């Protein structure tokens, strides 16, 4: 697919595939092998490689695996927004305080408020 002459369309199709597969695989052990394979496929495509790294960071945050706050704060709006609406209180607190955009900070604060109400 990535050898297609229309690189915009090719990378868009791969991104859509990557997002769908990662969303289904990230909670389980099959994610790691899949991510290793996808790392080889996306190595020459910076945006796709970044998205894969961010899925791995999202997985770590969501599953309470080791992760670094600096990596979250340096991540894209896509990941920060996804994480702000997620379940990891520590990550949400970080984004409520220092998220990249006002929307991310507000989403994180709303997530925290919902948690305190429950």
Average pLDDT of 98-107?
A: 98
Domain boundaries, the chain: 1-67, 68-118
Has this prediction a pTM greater than 0.75?
A: yes
In angstroms, rounded to a whole number, what is the distance separating the alpha carbons of residues 98 and 93? 9
Q: Are 58 and 52 in contact (CB under 8 A)?
A: no
At residue 85, does pLDDT exceed 70? yes
In angstroms, rounded to a whole number, what is the distance separating the alpha carbons of residues 115 and 57? 22
pLDDT band, very low/low/confident/very high, at 10 (cuts 50, 70, 90): confident
At residue 64, does pLDDT exceed 70? yes
At residue 24, does pLDDT exceed 90? yes
Cα–chain-centroid distance for residue 69?
A: 14
pLDDT band, very low/low/confident/very high, at 5 (cuts 50, 70, 90): low
pLDDT value of residue 1: 54
At residue 4, does pLDDT exceed 80? no
């Amino acid at each position: 697919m990535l050898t297609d002459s229309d690189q915009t369309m090719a990378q868009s199709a791969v991104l859509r595939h990557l997002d769908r597969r990662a969303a289904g695989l990230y909670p389980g052990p099959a994610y790691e092998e899949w991510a290793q394979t996808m790392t080889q496929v996306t190595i020459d495509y910076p945006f796709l490689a970044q998205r894969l790294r961010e899925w791995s960071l999202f997985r770590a945050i969501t599953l309470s695996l080791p992760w670094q706050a600096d990596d979250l704060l340096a991540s894209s709006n896509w990941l920060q927004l996804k994480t702000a609406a997620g379940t990891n209180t520590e990550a949400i607190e970080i984004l409520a305080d220092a998220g990249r955009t006002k929307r991310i900070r507000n989403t994180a604060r709303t997530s925290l408020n919902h948690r305190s109400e429950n």
